[in-house]
Structure 1
Amino acid sequence: MSSAFLEIIELPNGDFALQKADEDGDALVTITFSKDAKEFLKEHNVTVAKSMINAGIQTVGVISKQIAESDIEEEFRTVH
């Protein structure tokens, strides 16, 4: 991703979106709660959406690290 800054916004329809802070393009992730979930969570829907997005970002970090380590291992396996 080109931007180091991301922001979570609440959309007019009540969904939550993660987007690059300096761009107006499509959201990277959108979270939609069902009517039942909204009724259950009430004002806590913001906290749950932030937690879901945070977990996703952490997982992407782990995957990125694994890919980087895999690329390094590949370099050392190459024999000419």
Structure 2
Amino acid sequence: MSLYEIVELSNGDVVLRRVDDESSEPFVRIQFSEESLNYLGGSKFEVAKSMIEAGMDAANEETQDQEFHDAQEETDHVEGYVLH
């Protein structure tokens, strides 16, 4: 199991990357425009972190939905299956 971290790079980008491999390409990179930085003030990192966490939650939910759908298809093909 890999551990991941959300960090701000020296160029200002906020990234999600593996803890043990700083040289690899990050999974997610968020770069804010000057206009959005002015609007966000000092909360750039917190906003980027929330964006990454929301994306991970959505991906996890999608995976769970697909697993449920796959399990439903399997039980639909079982003869004599009765749901009580």
Partner of 1:21: 19
Gap runs ≥5 in structure 1: none
Letter in 2 for 1:17: V
Letter in 2 for 1:23: D
SS of residue paired to 1:43? coil
| Larger proportion of helix | 1
Alignment of 1:60-75 (within 5 A): 60-75=59-74
- TM-score, normalised relative to structure 2: 0.80
Kindly state the Cα deviation for residue 23 of structure 1 after the two structures are TM-superposed: 2.3
Question: Could you say what the CA RMSD is over the residues aligned between the two structures, in angstroms?
Answer: 1.7
How big is each residue's C-alpha offset from its partner over 1:9-36, in whole Å with a ceiling of 9 and x where there is no partner? 1111101001122223111111110011
Partner of 2:82: none
Counting aligned pairs with the same residue, the percent is 35
- TM-score, normalised relative to structure 1: 0.84
SS of residue paired to 1:18? strand
Distance of 1:28 and 1:74 partners within structure 2: 32
Letter in 2 for 1:19: R
Gap runs ≥5 in structure 2: 80-84
